[in-house]
Structure 1
Amino acid sequence: MNVKTKLSDCLRPLALGALLLCATAHAEVKPLDRVVAIVDNDVIMQSQLDRRLAEVQQNLAKRSGELPPREALAPQVLERLIVENLQLQIGERSGIRIADEELNQALATIAQRNNLTLDQFRAALARDGLSYDEAREQVRRELIISRARQRRVAERIQVSEQEVQNFLASDLGKLQLSEEFRLANILIPLSEGASPQAIQEAERQAREIHAQLQRGADFARLAAARSASENALEGGEIGWRKAAQLPPPFDTMIGALGVGEVSEPVRTPAGFIMLKLLDKRGGEQGVLREEVHVRHILLKPSEIRSDEQTRQLAERLYQRLRAGEDFAALAKSFSEDPGSALNGGDLNWIDPNALVPEFRAVMADSRIGELSQPFRSPFGWHVLEVLDRRTSDASGEAREQQALNLLRNRKYDEELQNWLRQIRDEAYVEIRL
């Protein structure tokens, strides 16, 4: 028996029942759910699209207060659902399963931490427009997608010793301890083997968007409405990056941007990309410095998994670690930091000044060998363990490890986008929006 239960499978008998009722009663006619996209062996329903649209509009309203029109946003949201659906299918074909006991335990922990019984918790979810079963499904989907990405993307990234040495000898390598940049992007996509006409049209669109931005248009709103990047519905924001983590030519041009400025559209294999510099930090390091050998597990909230659900998952992992489970094994399975997850969450020796204040403060208060309580940073929820402390001159092994982490992150970002584009191009998708 197939244990996979799809939303569409659940809705079909309901739709049939509604049709039968309509044949005998006319007191009230309600619109039926319908398929808006066929995605390989699965479907996306109008109800799924409507729920995600409502979530995205709520998040965008909190960010900028100005929303793109629904007709512009709906195709963007549907495209995100399609790509998520493909990753779920890949994960399930790969044998990734999230046990019911794990999901039930996570939701029971959420209820307990909020001093609620299970019935009270169900009622609280209903007030927020989310059923208990929907909450379980959100957690399950997020876990499957994360693990599918790690299997298909992160695990095949290899960085050779020669690549590390070449990087350290390069101009970018020498600047690895310099500034970090908080960035957002807009991508106008190009398919592989695009025709000259398609390239010309994509460039025209990119130039048009850039001109709007130069006239003061809101970057986050345009990203949500027009960008094909995976982070479009987050206003295009991709977080903090060092120049070395960016693909050429952005690695060399980012330093010339001022905070708030947007780069000219640049042609890349994925399409035409514009970057906006939201903020920057760092750039001053001494020769001798205190370093901490630390490892962590990072969990990121998303449209699918709320901040509270993410906190409770971090709490559950913390309890499992306290019970004696292996830190490295849990980090490889759960951590969403691509630079350290494959290394068991190990950040190796790191300068505390290179970390966000929240992480740095918890790390400073932790004794060697002590497991921290779950805590929040701008990146998400963490659990960390300090393994050792030392004074270093930022050379030798520490510099090589930093270069290795940077190269892994850089390759992961590029490979993830390539993989997502590949699975989308190879999939059978029929849109009925």
Structure 2
Amino acid sequence: MTKISTMIGLMAAAAVGITPVLAQTVSDNEVPTTSLNIPGNVQLYGDAKPNVYRPSATVNGEIITATDIEQRLALIRIANNNVELPAEEMQRLRNQVFSNLIDEKLQIQEAKAAKIEIDENVVNQQFARLAGRFKQTPEQFTQYLASKNSSAAAVKQQIRGEYAWDRLLSRNIQSTTNVSTEEVEAIVKQMNEAKGQDEFHIGEIYLSATPDNQAAIVENARKIIQALQAGGSFQAYARQFSEASTAVVGGDLGWVKAAQLPGSMAEAAAQMQPGQLVGPIEVPGGVSIMLMIDRRQVLTADPRDAVLSLKQISLDFAPGTTEAKASELASQFAEATRNIAGCGAADEVARSLGANIVSRDNIEMRALPAPLQSTLTTMQVGQTTQPFGAANEGISVLVLCGREMPQTATAPDLEQIEQRLLEEKVNKRAQRYLRDLRRDAVIEYS
């Protein structure tokens, strides 16, 4: 079913097959058509108090406090490498967090009404896994969260919400959602007809704009891009800021063709390489920030589908190593590994450097970071990559020991297609389910 994506996407797996839903433009003289009885020339009466941010609320009798909101904001800062945002951006994010907490309350309440028990062992296991990502014990991670103005309770409550919603959807929606053979065959036919066409796996953060606020929205998009370039999580920012329906899956559009994208995005995608971030790009109704996760040609063999045998030589930097010392060590390491004569000589070079060496077979090239993919694609067996690493961790090189190239394009995987279609249907029904919960909720702000 769905996956637990605690800490604003840090533990999320990539979603598949989501088609982008963008806002539609409306001309200055055009009144949008709705099923509501709203006059064309609307006049507002009274003040704007209902739109003023309030720091707490009760949702069907259960309280959300200002502390809950601030602790969740702190989690987002942690997930984004403690990047500080401008005050106006923080206020927007605070409003979004408030909205997310309301949804979370509704999801947990609905699960309880359906007599779904939240297994605290699962909650604690997920918390321990997250602590492990930070190379800490659960106790150490609890202290770390407190030092960042958050708490273990905030993380565990988010896990509970996601776990409860996952179980609820599994019981009430997935169990009654089916994909027919005809639907799968239609997708296979489309793929065969599109053989050889470029296909892009794209992440998007979409921000709606009007002619009046276009400049401000573009500036806000630039600030988000700066935060992402400084190490922020794309999924985290998409979840909190994107106004497209794909925000719930971290902005993941899945695999799309140029014809499925607005013209400006299609033009940009054609020039982008995996891992590249571009924007803001003007699109109908606003602007978008694009991340090229991957690209391929439909049903066509790709060198990056190769399976590799590698040796990795790594030199760890001692704790407290200065940047200057790290640079010196990196230069020595690069010189010593530059002319390694094949994998057979790699062990001796590693010993001479006091470095670690590991051998790995059956490594899918696509599982490696985009810069390494580009390098390995052009390398011959026995050659060595340029050094890579981080000043606070160490430095490494990869030696290419073998490459199994794809001979033919892989046929469509019917099981994967069926699973993707099932997830699309479940996600759409889940959105309607949550919409109904919001509509029926009693929410009092204070």
| Higher Cα radius of gyration | 2
| Relative contact order higher in (CA < 8 Å, ≥ 6 apart) | 2
TM-score in terms of structure 1 length: 0.49
